[in-house]
A and B are shown apart, each in its own frame.
Chain A
Amino acid sequence: MAEKKMIIDGIECPFTNERNVLEVARNNGIDIPSLCYCENLSIYGGCRLCLVENERGAMDAACSMQPRNGMIVNTHTKKVLESRHTTLQLLMSSHRADCLTCEQSGRCKLQEYAHRYNVVEPRFEENTYPKLPLDVSSPCITRDPTKCILCGLCVRMCSEIQNVGAIDFTKRGKRAVVAPGFGKMLSETGCVGCGQCAAVCPTGAITINRQIPEMWAMLNDPNKRVVVQYAPSVRVGMAEEFGMPANEPVTGKLVTALRRLGVDVVYDTNLSADLTIMEESAEFLEKVKSGAKLPMFTSCCPGWIQHVEKAHPNLMPQVSTAGSPMEMLGALIRQQFKDEDVYSVAIMPCTAKKFEARRPELEKDGKRLIDLVLTTDELVRLIKAAGIDFKNLPDSEPDDPLGDYTGAGVIFGVTGGVTEAVIRKVLADASPDTLKTIAECGVRGLEGIKAFSVTAGDLTLKIAVANGLANADRLIEKVESGEEYFDFIEVMACPNGCIGGGGQPPASNARKRERVEAIFKADEDCELKIPQQNPALDYIYDELLKGRAHELLHIHYPLHGQH
């Protein structure tokens, strides 16, 4: 078949299977503004900013227009510009614009478009934004209805990708507001704190709870020993914010930046990711041997844990009790520094970790395992606030004796990574051939649900991997109905896994694919590939944990039931 082409602004634009004219334009270097469109969500066509004009003078929304061969549209005619201008003025007339102090300032699309399309003065005198209070009930995110422009991206994210539906359009006309039902607070809904709503919110209507001042206070306190761990995905989520390519991990610069900020000790959460695999795979093999109910579900993702507790409480006993890597390193840090005045900070790609760190179960020997969770995005702001030229920093290594890690820990950051690490551990063979076989068994890739089998000795294991909670729910439905059987299921709440976490700087699909490349590059850079090769393990089990491994490295949430 001949190549399909359409004409946008007089430019010939070839296309294949793009879902709308908006995508065709963007793929051909023409940026049509839009506030309610996201490539991963259904099309809403509500904001009317992406209107384009055809050769007959008719206007329609580019997001809702299917590209046809020979189609002609123009994106900046007089009519289009006027319409855009009015639409922006109308949106601004019901948006509380406190741009200087807004969390989203500099990243707000309404602000960007107002500037780009030269909307220099408000047209409507009285601003009619809804006079409704903030919802600060969630430890992860804050909802500010006064800034909501009703684009519905969060609503679609929460229901289509996460199948949670914590918020929706409620009421109608000028009283319409995106909110939980019955005037509830977010904490009273099925919200798991994944932060994906905040990642798609074009304005400051849903934002991540930032705790940067707490961090500065501790960094400037001479009596506190600030110990920081950073998760696998953090190293692949920052580069683009400093004008560097996203497909290179920046681990060494990250460590240097933390030291320059005044952090006393730096550890890599990869170490405890190795530990998580040791504990989780032992638990899994024990379950297989004892004939316990399978599948066993992974436990590293706090959004997933909350989703099980709220939506599938009956499955909680099948969720591994192995602590998350953050929890485990938190426990090791407390053992390492015993009675010292240590402030334990975790840099995470995740907003739900802020909730996890506060759970009562994450307290051992009367001390919180983690004092503060900062997201990747907050770390970026800290580094910028400190005036550090990140791009030109030299590399450095995390501290001893908890600085070692293997490639198995690194790959936790992407969907399928935990499973791949478990398989590496179970097969216990670090030869390049075996590693290649594992990588090609079906565990890699960004599909929402992956299912495959792995043979280890006389054991054939059926494994599934899901990312996004709606995918997890689909999988659970098949398991509960008996349609499919699995021994082991990995779930990450965020689309694509932690690299696309709610705490990462928001990214397009293309950017996320670059982050995946960077994760596997970081794995390749590791000499050691399988968790049991980690040289720190002996020290950890023999010197630090001294027989308390289960007590300190496992978390029994109430619904896990009696052990």
Chain B
Amino acid sequence: MSHTFRRKGENALENVDRKFIDSVLEKYDSDKSKIIAIMQDVQEKYRYLPQEALEYIAGKVGMSESKLYGVATFYGNFSLDAKGKYVMKVCRGTACHVRKSSTILQALYDATGTDEHKPTSDDGLFTLEIVSCLGACGLSPVVMVNDTVHAAMTPDKARALVSQLREEA
């Protein structure tokens, strides 16, 4: 059944690339049973799920906005907040914990100007996330930046990493 409340979905999209969203929808036949895959593809590009994109997708796949929002907020891996260019996943699993990952987390908070309640830095470069295990316990303590794993971290190495990334940006 075609769904409701088309007002938002039909509007021009300001901050997201409509062509890109359309291509994702086409890839999955705008099938609402593939909504998770659709959202994963969108998140891969934007590193989060822009509200506009979700509203547009809701109209196209025939789901209510509230239902889609419900799915997006159910899974911890989806984010509705914009993330920094570098998403730093600090492992706080058991192996990393016993090798003092808490000091690394604190060093990264200090170096990037973020904290527990404000995970993204003001310059939009860094987002800090805490994860429970990256499955690389042999390399602990571990920090993963986007798709790169940084092994055997120390607070000094963490600070150096931030400076280096800042220069590259």
**Which residues of A have CB within 8 Å of B51?**
182
Query: Are B1 and A168 interface neighbours, CB within 8 A?
Result: no
Against B, the Cβ 8 Å flags (1 = close, 0 = not) of A166-194 are: 11111110000001111010000110000
* Complex: chain B residue closest to A481, CB-CB: B2
Task: Report if A190-B5 is in contact (Cβ < 8 Å); known contacts: A165-B64, A182-B51.
Answer: yes
A134 in the interface (beta carbon within 8 A)? no
In the docked arrangement, what's the CA distance between A179 and B58, Å? 16
B163 in the interface (beta carbon within 8 A)? no
Query: Are B1 and A181 interface neighbours, CB within 8 A?
Result: no
* Complex: chain B residue closest to A172, CB-CB: B74
Q: Which of A169, A473, A477 has the most CB of B within 10 A?
A: A169
Contact of A168 among B2, B7, B66 (CB under 8 A): B66
Query: Are A473 and B66 interface neighbours, CB within 8 A?
Result: no
Contact of A165 among B4, B7, B73, B80 (CB under 8 A): B4
A474 in the interface (beta carbon within 8 A)? yes
Query: Are B69 and A165 interface neighbours, CB within 8 A?
Result: no
Query: Are B5 and A311 interface neighbours, CB within 8 A?
Result: yes
In the docked arrangement, what's the CA distance between A169 and B66, Å? 8
* Complex: chain A residue closest to B75, CB-CB: A172
Query: Are A170 and B3 interface neighbours, CB within 8 A?
Result: no
Query: Are A170 and B64 interface neighbours, CB within 8 A?
Result: no
A336 in the interface (beta carbon within 8 A)? no
Query: Are A171 and B66 interface neighbours, CB within 8 A?
Result: no
Task: Report if A163-B4 is in contact (Cβ < 8 Å); known contacts: A171-B73, A172-B73, A182-B51.
Answer: yes
B67 in the interface (beta carbon within 8 A)? yes
Tell me, rounded to whole Å, the shortest Cβ–Cβ distance linking A319 to chain B.
17
Query: Are B69 and A163 interface neighbours, CB within 8 A?
Result: no
Query: Are A182 and B2 interface neighbours, CB within 8 A?
Result: no
B138 in the interface (beta carbon within 8 A)? no
Query: Are A311 and B6 interface neighbours, CB within 8 A?
Result: yes
Tell me, rounded to whole Å, the shortest Cβ–Cβ distance linking B15 to chain A.
14
Against B, the Cβ 8 Å flags (1 = close, 0 = not) of A189-203 are: 110000000000000
Tell me, rounded to whole Å, the shortest Cβ–Cβ distance linking B61 to chain A.
12
Query: Are B65 and A171 interface neighbours, CB within 8 A?
Result: no
**Which residues of A have CB within 8 Å of B65?**
165, 180-182, 184, 189
Query: Are B5 and A310 interface neighbours, CB within 8 A?
Result: yes
Against B, the Cβ 8 Å flags (1 = close, 0 = not) of A299-316 are: 000000001001101000
Interface residues in B1-48 by Cβ distance below 8 A to A read 1-7
Task: Report if A189-B74 is in contact (Cβ < 8 Å); known contacts: A167-B66, A168-B64, A181-B69.
Answer: no
- Chain B residues engaging chain A, CB cutoff 8 angstroms: 1-7, 51, 54-55, 58, 63-70, 73-74, 80
7 closest cross-chain pairs (CB), A and B? A165-B64, A181-B69, A190-B5, A168-B66, A181-B65, A181-B66, A311-B4
